Amino acid sequence: MEKDKDTEMKDQEQQNKPDEKGGVLIEGHIKIFDPNNEEVFVDKRNAIHYENFSNSLAQAMANKNLGHIYQMAFGNGGSSVDTTGVITYLPPNITGQNADLYNQTFQKVVDDTSSANTDTSRNKLTVLHTAGKLYTDILVSCLLDYGEPSGQQAFDNSTSLDGDYVFDELGLKSWQGSASDLDLVTHVIFHPVQKSLNRQIQIDYTVRIQTLTNLSTT
């Protein structure tokens, strides 16, 4: 009798155990180019800050008015150049809730529902999904116009890679309640690209969220 009771309890536990085994894969890709002549400056994958991204994803799914992508941040602290011209790249900052760019020098609001976004037609978030597919893309579009940022050089012929607007790192940040309370969710380091008055620079940043099914729990 006792044995039958134990068997019944085990059967009940087995029934209560969820049989859905899945996961989420997050990938990012960045393309930086001149929209006028299609010259590509950067075309590479980025690193994901998984702790901050998972927290932001849960906040957004729980409708907490938090966690959505709000800002694209630019910096110039991702690399260094020695006297021989050799460039050394630092690793992306993807550990710790307070992770940030090495040296942020500019930022733009890409949340096209925000009143702080000065051009929602060119700085925006687009959700791309094909029916039947297990992934959805967020396309983050950002344009640095001719006059942005203020204080940039006239031409893209700088011999120094230390300028504020010679960018070598970029990250996406999620909203955590205010424009000064943001979490870094992605970070990418790349060879320096100068923003100057004589050209526009377009950034297409794709974040792919893919569900993984039939994963083993062992």
Q: Tell me how long the chain is.
A: 218
For residue 4, the SS3 value is helix
The pLDDT score that the predictor gives to residue 163 is 85
Q: Tell me the CA distances in angstroms from 192 to 9, 43, 59, 87, 204, one per residue in order.
A: 63, 13, 34, 9, 17
List CB contacts of 50: < 8 A, sequence separation 6 or more: 26, 94
DSSP state of 122: T
The pLDDT score that the predictor gives to residue 7 is 60
Residue spans of the domains in the chain: they are 22-213
List CB contacts of 91: < 8 A, sequence separation 6 or more: 189
Task: Give the burial class of 99: count Cβ atoms within 10 A of its Cβ; 0-12 exposed, 13-18 middle, 19 or more buried.
Answer: middle
Give average pLDDT by consecutive 10-residue segment, the chain, 218 residues: 58 60 90 97 97 98 97 97 89 97 98 97 98 97 97 83 91 98 98 95 98 64
Looking at this protein, which amino acid is placed at residue 144? L
The pLDDT score that the predictor gives to residue 198 is 94
Number of H-type helices and E-type strands within the chain = 2, 12
The pLDDT score that the predictor gives to residue 12 is 60
Pull the structure tokens for residue 186: 């992605």
Pull the structure tokens for residue 78: 């991702």
3-state secondary structure 58-116: HHHHCCCCCCCEEEEEEECCCEEECCCCCEEECCCCCCCCCCCCCCEEEEEECCCCCCC
What's the number of CA atoms in the CB half-sphere (13 Å) around residue 101?
25
Looking at this protein, which amino acid is placed at residue 5? K
